[in-house]
Structure 1
């Protein structure tokens, strides 16, 4: 069987706040939680596990592929919340989306300071 992505732990200053943010933005499903983890499930059974680490953590980058309709809903929510966002990872084009790779994309920060990217077409 080829390897498939199963789960990731996303370091969180506030796991409940992070789970709520991702649930709304990604339209993720609730999943059973255990131990220090607050879990959500996205497509293909992938778990996003939110937990407070015992140490300070550097920001990470998480990119999510969504369809055009989902992108429109997510982008409308970003704008409605007045959330900072950029068309590029260098954050030189604020308040914009991009049209690279034949689709649309946007970059933003989550409540714990991780870099998120929403794209409508895969890079490859």
Structure 2
């Protein structure tokens, strides 16, 4: 069997708000709670399992280390997502370091844009090259 990514856990301050934020922007659904997680499933079957970091009773506490999540989308999906980002007055950038605000990156036929979720995770949408 080939190795495939099945799911990843996404730390959140409020898992429901964070899952809804991503699902709404990407045009996806929030799944029913699965144990302590709130899932968002993408087209290739990978699940982003949102988890309230405050529920973690480890010595690490409620701090969230921002991560990067990239979503490959069609040109039409890119346009629709970017329109929702703009309609929500959300900041976005053409680069992962957020040095080029309000622009998208273009390389050949590929486009990309970066935005932050409510927890500071760096989200990217990109089209195939």
Same fold (TM over 0.5): yes
Q: In structure 1, what is the Cα distance between the partners aligned to 2:2 and 2:79?
A: 33
Structure 1 outlier segments of 4+, above 4 Å:
none
Q: Give CA deviations for 1:12-44 in whole Å, capped at 9, x if unaligned.
A: 111111111111122223333222101121112
TM-score normalised by structure 2 residue count: 0.88
Aligned position for 2:80: 73
**Contact between 1:101 and 1:121, CA under 8 Å: does it hold in 2?**
no
- Give aligned pairs, total: 122
Unaligned runs of 5+ in 2: none
* Matches for 1:59-70 after TM superposition, within 5 Å: 59-70=66-77
Q: Does 1:113 align with 2:120?
A: yes
Aligned position for 2:10: 10
Q: Give CA deviations for 1:45-100 in whole Å, capped at 9, x if unaligned.
A: 21111111223121000011010111000000111111111001121110001112
